């Protein structure tokens, strides 16, 4: 995934998700064909939760890394690596999509 390209949460006609905050944790529950997939619930830590929140609107991995570095007091390099890894994980699971430049 290009770090400067825009990414956003993704749902379509076949697959979507429900996000809930429970006891201070963010849960992502995939829904396929109107059926909840309880085997694939994702529980996010505070950093991942913040990234997921930022993905509500189109944003870049670079921008997310800047926010993470600032809000969680980590180096920009560490934040960039962690953000890239998490975005790749979300992309592999079909939870985000990369948008064409200019979108």
15-46 tens-digit pLDDT:
778 888 888 889 988 887 767 666 778 899 99
Between 11 and 69, the higher pLDDT residue: 69
pLDDT confidence band for 67 (50 / 70 / 90): very high
Number of Cβ within a 10 Å radius of residue 96:
21
Place of tokens 């200019």: 102
Burial of 51 (0-12, 13-18, 19+ CB in 10 A): buried
Is 4's pLDDT higher than 60? no
Beta-carbon contacts of 9 under 8 Å, excluding residues fewer than 6 positions away, are 17, 52, 55, 56, 95, 96
Q: Does CATH place domain 6-95 in 1.10.3470?
A: no
CB 100 within 8 A of CB 44: no
């Amino acid at each position: 995934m290009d770090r400067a390209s825009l990414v956003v949460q993704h749902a379509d006609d076949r697959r979507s998700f429900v996000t809930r905050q429970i006891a201070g944790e963010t849960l992502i529950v995939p829904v396929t064909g109107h059926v909840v997939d309880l085997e694939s619930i994702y529980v996010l830590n505070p950093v991942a939760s913040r990234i997921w929140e930022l993905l509500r609107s189109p944003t870049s991995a670079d921008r997310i890394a800047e926010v993470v570095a600032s809000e969680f007091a980590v180096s920009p390099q560490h934040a960039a690596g962690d953000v890239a890894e998490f975005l790749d994980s979300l992309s592999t699971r079909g939870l985000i999509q990369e948008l064409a430049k200019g979108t």
